[in-house]
Structure 1
Amino acid sequence: MLPPPHQPPTGAPHPPSTGPSAGTSGGSWQGVLAFQPDAPVPPNATHRPRLRGFVVTGVVVTLFGLAALVMGLIVYDVIGLAAAGLAMLTASIAIGIVVPTFLWIDRLEAEPARLLWFAFLWGALISTLGAIVLNQLGVDFVAGLDQDPMVVGAVVLAPLTEEFAKGLGVLLIFWRARREFNGVTDGIVYAGLVAAGFAFVENILYLGQAYVEMGTAGLVGLFVMRCLVSPFAHPMFTVCFGLALGLITHRRRWSAAWIPLLGFVSAVFLHGLWNYSAVVAADAYLLIFAVVQVPLFIAFLFLLRWARRRESVILRDTLTGYGINGWFTPAEVAMLASPGERRRARRWARSVGGRRAAAAMTSFQDESGELAMVRKHLNAEAGHPDPEWLGREQRLLQTIVAHRRVFVAGA
């Protein structure tokens, strides 16, 4: 539970000088020139953390490399090299629409680049390969029953296997990078990038097949439907699961497991509904698209806007508590909670102190957003704070003060 704006966050440290320094104004970005807090616990002095990191990185790179090799062979076998190159170039246009949208949502408290790349590559390589294997096994099983394997595969099997393969990547980030999975917005971003990677490779296969079978006309027609009309289809499905995980970020208990399960079921249902309109009810596709899919897409856009505004409110309320304790001025809090004011602050810093001051302002903004998420975790663990979160808070406060001094000195 976040404290209301007029209360400081529980346990938030006070700087030794509890108010703005002499000569600073509460209405400027120059802010509070506070002293550094006590130093955090020193890090592990052995080489083991580095060795563990090397091993984990090696495993991940090997896994992705093998998956890329297998997927490359599959694409080459299905559509050939020339069609694959043309399809990849065409499918990249959808990536240019989808990925920047999710990065835009994540601007106030950006996620580490390594996790964003992991999410995208998991979707593009692991999820696609896993879905191909599971789909084929499912179709072979259904073929022995009195059912149309193509219809069952598209409406039942594909939604189940694909959302499972994509959702597993989001779940891995939720489990292993819990200090970077801080809420609803993070869940939406990670899920969206996993789905974007999956859709990218799937589009290469589908567009390439259309080109091989129907030539340029088939490629252009499918490109319009998949990459221009519905580029957010896969992200729209998987975001249901990411959103659900974001809702339980601060209460990771088995009693809350029904929330991610409901998110997964919702993702599978929306995916199945989408495939149904394209496969089973092809003659009524435009009607179903207008009545069902368009409202869903509009709701999805409202969800993205809501998530972005929610993060802004969390940032403002939490940093207001730090401001009461003397770490930020009211003008700084207002600037940090507004993307537009952030841009104006960076331009101001560059105008008064050049690139060095602009870089310091950017770091000040990034670290302040991270600080708000750290405090949110600490408030959720009231009474039993994690020493790692406390140490992270102290380090962020130190660097925030240091970067403020840089752009203040240039003013």
Structure 2
Amino acid sequence: MLIQLAAAPVLVGLFYIYVRDKYEKEPWRMLLLGLLYGIYATCVIYAVGLGLEKIFPHRENPFYTAFVSSAGVEEVIKYVFLIFLIWKNGNFNEPLDGIVYGVFVSLGFAWIENIIYVTHPVMGGYGTALSRAVLSVPGHGLFGVQMGYYLGLAKFFGGKKQLILALIVPYIAHALYNYFLLEKSPAFWVPFWMLEIWLWWSALRHIKELVQISPFRE
């Protein structure tokens, strides 16, 4: 049952972004590949995390965990995997595709991470599954929207600035997101919920914007 609960929010996110791709659906093979790239990225992220822990043992330092070993490692590796997946692929033929594949890669990673957390003998359980379904999994999807949005702009409207923003924006958002949660102090709940609201507002706005400028729109 916990495995199904771990998958449920991921499937909801994948279905939502697939439906929003209104004018030129991505082929199932590419979408599956995006999901698999996210799963493969999990293995790389885990290996790099272990290496960093051996070199720089941080003993649960919230700042280091949030800005380096979680957001830093995860967003850089997801960015590299996403670039390899779509940048020179012919299916990347409209700006919104950046968001679609960004979400699929991010939720592929979130899927495996979620299974690990909810089935953990100490930290896992139904409470963990619920909290992660509300916060962590959607969070990864929202970071994927930010990454894909700027990649879409970079691909079709040019400019190195957007390529840089495609990494920097989700990284900063992810790092702050984790830091506010890891501090476990009521003082950080206000900025956390402000960031949460901004992420949702920004993601919905970005999706709407790129849907409206689709070259396949009639």
Maintained 8 Å contact 1:142/1:149? no
Which residue of 2 is the match for residue 205 of structure 1?
116
Which residue of 2 is the match for residue 103 of structure 1?
18
CA distance in 2, matches of 1:231, 1:149: 22
Maintained 8 Å contact 1:97/1:231? no
Aligned residue pair count: 217
Matched residue type, 2:84: L
Secondary structure of the 1:249 match is helix
Q: 1:138 to 1:122 in 2, by over 3 A?
A: same
Which residue of 2 is the match for residue 260 of structure 1?
163
TM-score (ref. length: structure 1): 0.49
CA RMSD in angstroms, aligned pairs only: 2.1
- Identify which of 232, 244, 247 aligns with 2:150: 244
Q: Could you tell me how far 1:264 is from its partner in structure 2?
A: 0.1
Is residue 28 of structure 2 the alignment partner of residue 113 of structure 1? yes
Which residue of 2 is the match for residue 185 of structure 1?
96
Matched residue type, 2:96: T
Secondary structure of the 2:38 match is helix
CA distance in 2, matches of 1:300, 1:230: 16
Secondary structure of the 2:155 match is coil
CA distance in 1, matches of 2:205, 2:146: 13
- Identify which of 90, 93, 106 aligns with 1:195: 106
Q: Could you tell me how far 1:134 is from its partner in structure 2?
A: 0.9
CA distance in 1, matches of 2:152, 2:59: 38
- Cα deviation 1:3-52 (Å, max 9, x = unaligned): xxxxxxxxxxxxxxxxxxxxxxxxxxxxxxxxxxxxxxxxxxxxxxxxxx
CA distance in 1, matches of 2:165, 2:68: 17
- Identify which of 75, 80, 83 aligns with 1:163: 75
Q: Could you tell me how far 1:278 is from its partner in structure 2?
A: 1.1
- Identify which of 128, 132, 137 aligns with 1:231: 137
CA distance in 1, matches of 2:116, 2:172: 24
Gaps of 5+ in 2: none
Which residue of 2 is the match for residue 131 of structure 1?
45
Who wins on radius of gyration, i.e. which is larger?
1
Maintained 8 Å contact 1:94/1:227? yes
CA distance in 1, matches of 2:144, 2:66: 17
Maintained 8 Å contact 2:72/2:171? yes
Which residue of 2 is the match for residue 33 of structure 1?
none
Matched residue type, 1:233: G
Maintained 8 Å contact 2:143/2:170? yes
TM-score (ref. length: structure 2): 0.89
- Identity of paired residues, percent? 24
Gaps of 5+ in 1: 1-85, 317-336, 338-411
Is residue 215 of structure 2 the alignment partner of residue 309 of structure 1? no
Maintained 8 Å contact 1:174/1:245? no
CA distance in 2, matches of 1:208, 1:286: 27
Maintained 8 Å contact 1:187/1:245? yes
CA distance in 2, matches of 1:150, 1:183: 41
Is residue 204 of structure 2 the alignment partner of residue 292 of structure 1? no
Secondary structure of the 1:231 match is helix
- Cα deviation 1:190-217 (Å, max 9, x = unaligned): 00000111101000011111xx226xxx
Which residue of 1 is the match for residue 65 of structure 2?
153
